Amino acid sequence: MKRILTGDRPTGKLHLGHYIGSLRNRVRLQDEYECFFIIADLHTLTTKPEQTGELKENIQQMVLDYLSVGIDPQKATIYVQSQIPEVGELAVIFGNLVNTPRLERVPTLKDVMKDAHITIPSYGLLGYPVLQAADILMVRAHLVPVGKDQVSHIEVTREIAREFNRVYGETLPVPEALVPQDLGTLPGTDGKTKMSKSAGNVINLSDSVGEVEKKVMSMYTDPKRIHPTDPGTVEGNPVFIYLDAFSTEGDKAQVTSLKERYTKGQVGDIEVKKYLVKVLNNFLEHIRKRRAEFEKQPELVEKILQEGTQKAREEAQKTLDAVKQAMKMDYF
């Protein structure tokens, strides 16, 4: 069975955008591949080195989000990056197989710097793709599910693996990026770009019924529509994008009717939003229930993390041993 590595930085609770963009795909992938899901806390240091005090809580919340959407620790390995010291040693070794200008050409670097208001990248931020290569090659992953904007990072990993094999002999797999068919992205509740924690325009998977209602009722819709009787635009309207993403088969007829009436000026934004509140809360109901069950068992959540991290570390040790043997650095 082929092996996959993917994961998230623990920077806060996961939201509906994460579900559409990656989580629902991971639930499917865990039945088709051997999956390792990394909680990449070391990667948070590249942009927020001063916020390590929040990591423990963020990690716990992320694991609860994973479990609540259906990621099964019996099928997938969930682990914490920083608790595997071997990944750091591998990153040091791999850092000598790629040059600085190559890392400066990674397209997402400037975007990350802009979003984080960074003018000069730290050594860690510039070397982000190298540590990522260590994450991927540490578990000898064959495939890495990523969006199109992350393919360039995986190419760095591929180059490092090929260079290591050229210099020291065939040791490491050369992984491939697994770019799923367009899973879609959700705009933020403010209608700007995509749903993003940093922009504060999210609906979290863990939001209560009341929180969902409050956020939906304040959502951006069609700025050109002043009165409920004005013809409205459905295409690109966040409320209808959410309805298309989360409505069930039983909702389809009502959603179609709302779209037709909206374009004719026969329904107001409030009615449409109230229906979206219903749809989203129905979707989140089973997720909330699963989350509540795991919240009652903190010792189980900790056990899942400990066992997953131990399994990942065993894989890391095997890889590091093979790497040192290939380099003739297995002195003792």
Q: At what angle do helices 252-264 and 269-295 cross, to 10 degrees?
A: 150
**Termini Cα distance of the chain:** 33
Q: Which of 194, 278, 311, 318 is catalytic?
A: 194
Q: Annotate 160-216 with DSSP letters as a single string.
A: HHHHHHHHH-S-S---EEE--S----PBPTTSSSB--TTTT---BTT--HHHHHHHH
Does 182 score more than 70 pLDDT?
no
Higher pLDDT, 21 or 82: 82
Q: Which of 75, 197, 318, 324 is catalytic?
A: 197
Does 183 score more than 70 pLDDT?
no
Binding-site residues for L-tryptophan = 135
Per-residue model confidence (pLDDT) at position 194 = 79
Q: Which of 48, 56, 110, 114 is catalytic?
A: 114
Query: Nearest to residue 238, comparing CAs of 208, 211, 267, 203?
Result: 203
Per-residue model confidence (pLDDT) at position 150 = 81
Q: What is the pLDDT of residues 222-236, one digit of tens each?
A: 988 989 899 999 999
* Residue 296 bears catalytic tag: no
- Percent of the chain with pLDDT strictly greater than 70: 99
Per-residue model confidence (pLDDT) at position 70 = 98
Does 193 score more than 80 pLDDT?
no
Binding-site residues = 9-11, 17-18, 135, 147-149, 186, 194-198
* Residue 278 bears catalytic tag: no
Binding-site residues for ATP = 9-11, 17-18, 147-149, 186, 194-198
Higher pLDDT, 12 or 293: 293
Q: Which CATH superfamily is domain 3-185+298-326 in?
A: HUPs (3.40.50.620)
pLDDT interval class at 195 (50, 70, 90)? confident
Query: Nearest to residue 38, comparing CAs of 89, 70, 84, 79?
Result: 79
Q: Residues spanned by CATH 1.10.240.10 within the chain?
A: 209-292
For the segment 264-271, the average pLDDT, to the nearest whole number, is 94
Cα separations (Å) of 77 from 67, 173, 232?
Answer: 12, 20, 47
Q: What is the CATH number of domain 209-292?
A: 1.10.240.10
Q: Residues spanned by CATH 3.40.50.620 within the chain?
A: 3-185+298-326
pLDDT interval class at 200 (50, 70, 90)? confident
- Percent of the chain with pLDDT strictly greater than 90: 85
Per-residue model confidence (pLDDT) at position 115 = 82
Q: What is the pLDDT of residues 65-92, one digit of tens each?
A: 999 999 999 999 999 999 999 999 999 9
* Residue 114 bears catalytic tag: yes
pLDDT interval class at 181 (50, 70, 90)? confident
Does 184 score more than 80 pLDDT?
no
> Please, which residues bridge with residue 79 across strands?
38
Average pLDDT, the chain: 94
Q: What is the pLDDT of residues 147-175, one digit of tens each?
A: 877 888 899 999 999 999 999 999 999 99
